[in-house]
Each structure stands twice: as C-alpha cells, then as structure tokens.
Chain A
C-alpha cells in the first residue's frame, strides 16, 4: 500500500507542482481557472490514451517512440510556458495595478489562455499516463492486495494534490509587487529544466549524440532521487549529473525567455510613461 502511495504521490506531485507554479504565475488573468481546469481534464484524457497505446508508441521509430514522444511533449510545454511568461511580463504592470486597486482581473487574449491550458495538459498527460499504467497493472494483477493498493494510490493522489496546493498558496502569499517577477523567474527555470529533460530523452533515443557525457556528479550532496532533489528538479530543473548538452539546453532556454521578457517589457513601460 505504501509503495503505491509513494509512486502515485511522486507522479501527481511532478505534474501538480507545474500546475501550482503556472496557476500562481497567472494570478489576475480572467478565465485562468477554466483554462487550467480544462487543461487538467484534457491531460487526464490524454493520459488514458497514451497508456492505452503505450506499447505501440514505444515500438514506433525503431523502438525510439517513447523517448521521441516525451521529448516532443516536453518541448511543446517549454514553448507554451515561454509564451505565457512573455505575455505575463507584458501585462504584469497593469495586472498588479488592477489587482491592487480594483481587485478585478485582467482580460487575457484567448491565445495566452490556450498556452496556459496546453502547458498544464501536457504536464498532466506525461505523468498521468504513468499513473494509469501503474494502476491498470494493479487491477490486472490480483485480488488479494488490489484494494489496499488502490487505497494507497488514492492517498498518493490526495497528498500530491495537497502539496501542490500548499506551493500555490505559498506563492500566492508573496506581495503583489514582487509576485509576478518571482513566478516569472520560476516558470522560466521550470521551462529550462523541461528543455534539459527533453535533451536527455533525445539522447536516450540515440538521436542527439553530442556532448552527452556527464560532466559532474553532485548526487552525494543532493540526489535527484531524494524528495528535496525531486522537487527542485521539477521546480528549477536541478540535475545531479548533467551532460554538456543538457546544460546548454537549460542555459539557452532560460536565456531566451529572460531575453524576450526583457526586450518586450521595455516598450510597454515607455508607452505608459509617455502617456502619463
């Protein structure tokens, strides 16, 4: 029962942390809850589909299907998160003002809501498919311990969701003036970490064979198998044994998003100042 709890908790937490950060990062956007809700539902539906076709996906492309599929999912999530961060940076000022003065939300374009929902959907789909496969395994295996394992899994689900909620409320408690810069940085590092994971998948698929030796090993200080290591891995992309290519992917992704945010924030402020 405990094993089931731990496994489901782990997967739910990995998706849940991403959802929590993204939700906090889009505070003050009208329609954010329904975008995230739809994203979660679509992600769960996707999980079932992916689990159903797991072996067919795996066999595709000469046995590279699973790696390529996950890499594609991750890169798509990186794009959506980048888009979202840049959009939020453009609107952070007006949102902070409006939230503070009127307590009202800012209407977002349907496109940025799409980015938000899509990022959530693929995050849920990736981890969710593993939960579905694990659970169907339990159901198929036997009767004697099946019920107990399902209770454990349910416990894992509830716990994972609870920790994600705690993270969300923790982030939401940051004073408004600071919050958007904190969450913007967090989503950016999260996206950079996903890009580094995508590189790992491409390398495992054998399609990216350059700079793929591990540069160092800090698992003796903080292992990614430990809980703090796992959480930092999701939130800021911590790696205990990164390869050169992973570091490059991380730096390029974080650098590009920060660069775009910087470039696009400036003219907005300028326009505002000249108007005032």
Chain B
C-alpha cells in the first residue's frame, strides 16, 4: 500500500508541476502583451534613503497612473521598504537601488516606512 500511495503521490506531483509550468508560461505570455501596452504611460519617481530617512518623505502623485518608485539606498545597511496601504514589502540591500511598481491609485494618503528603522524611516504619498 505504501508503494501504491507513493506511486500516486508522484503522479499527483507530476500533474501539479505540469499545470504550474503551463500557468507560468501563460502568465509570461499575457505579460508580454499587457506590459508593452502599459509601458508608455509609466511615470518614474525617485526616492533616496540616507541615514535611515526617506528623501523626499512626502510625495504627491497623480491618481490612476502606473508609477515606478526608484528607491536608492545610500546607507551601507539594508532597508525593507514596506507599505501595508500599497501592499508592498521589498528588501533593498545596502548601497543599491530597487524598482517598486505601484498600481494605479485612487485619491487618498498612503503611508510607507522602512521596516528596519521604523522610528526614522517614515514617509507618505498623497494622491489627488
């Protein structure tokens, strides 16, 4: 019986892996279609991290636009850019930069912070 169930487990795994790989290919395909169309109206905003502070820490962004936040970490230590409001959690290694893609937003205030230095690394985005 153990043999039988092992055999079944393998078949189950094979089926799941196959479907997963198919799904990934479908996703990549869909992305290449969507991505090229969306690329034109993207806007890039730069933020730097220095001494565990964001600069600028207050941003004003337009609504309903794809926005890329280019975050440069000038500190030697890593930081985690986190925003529950934006649904983003991204680690940025020391002395490096990261691209954060923000979905089109509706009007409101969105708080973000650096998880590793929450007392100093604070900022917010106002969307109008």
A binding-site residues for B, Cβ under 8 Å: 3, 7, 54-55, 58-59, 62-64, 66-67, 75, 79, 82-83, 86-87, 90-91, 107, 109, 111-112, 129-130, 133-134, 136-138, 140-141, 200, 202-209, 212-214, 219, 223-225, 240-241, 243, 260, 264, 271
Kindly identify, within residues 59 to 86 of chain B, every residue whose CB is under 8 Å from any CB belonging to chain A: 75-80, 84
Instruction: Give the distance in Å from the alpha carbon of A200 to the alpha carbon of B89 in the complex.
Output: 10
Residues of A within 8 A of B91 (CB): 54, 58, 66, 129-130, 133
Instruction: Give the distance in Å from the alpha carbon of A40 to the alpha carbon of B101 in the complex.
Output: 32
A76 CB → nearest B CB, Å: 9
Once the chains bind, are A83 and B12 in contact (CB under 8 Å)? Answer: yes
Once the chains bind, are B116 and A137 in contact (CB under 8 Å)? Answer: yes
Once the chains bind, are B9 and A111 in contact (CB under 8 Å)? Answer: yes
Contact with A133, one of B5, B10, B78, B119 (Cβ below 8 angstroms): B78
Instruction: Give the distance in Å from the alpha carbon of A202 to the alpha carbon of B6 in the complex.
Output: 32
Once the chains bind, are B6 and A209 in contact (CB under 8 Å)? Answer: no
- The number of inter-chain residue pairs (CB within 8 angstroms) is 115
Measured CB to CB, the nearest residue on chain B to A94 is B1
Q: A109-B5, A129-B91, A241-B84 are in contact. List 11 more A-B contacts (CB 8 A).
A: A54-B91, A55-B96, A58-B92, A64-B99, A83-B9, A109-B2, A109-B6, A134-B80, A137-B78, A202-B27, A223-B84
Measured CB to CB, the nearest residue on chain A to B115 is A7
Residues of A within 8 A of B76 (CB): 137, 140-141
Once the chains bind, are B93 and A58 in contact (CB under 8 Å)? Answer: yes
Kindly identify, within residues 29 to 70 of chain B, every residue whose CB is under 8 Å from any CB belonging to chain A: 31, 34-35, 38
Once the chains bind, are A109 and B96 in contact (CB under 8 Å)? Answer: no
Instruction: Give the distance in Å from the alpha carbon of A212 to the alpha carbon of B86 in the complex.
Output: 12
A135 CB → nearest B CB, Å: 10
Once the chains bind, are B34 and A209 in contact (CB under 8 Å)? Answer: yes
Once the chains bind, are A141 and B98 in contact (CB under 8 Å)? Answer: no
Instruction: Give the distance in Å from the alpha carbon of A200 to the alpha carbon of B84 in the complex.
Output: 12
B107 at the interface (CB under 8 A from A): no
* Selected A-B contacts with CB under 8 Å, 18 pairs: A3-B117, A58-B93, A66-B91, A66-B98, A67-B90, A83-B16, A86-B9, A87-B9, A109-B5, A133-B80, A133-B91, A134-B78, A140-B76, A140-B77, A204-B87, A206-B31, A209-B31, A212-B103
Q: A75-B20, A79-B16, A223-B84 are in contact. Are A111 and B10 (CB under 8 A)?
A: yes
A159 CB → nearest B CB, Å: 18
B128 at the interface (CB under 8 A from A): no
B44 CB → nearest A CB, Å: 11
B78 CB → nearest A CB, Å: 4
Could you mark each residue 1-26 of chain B with 1 if its beta carbon is under 8 Å from any beta carbon of chain A, else 0? 11001101110110011001000000
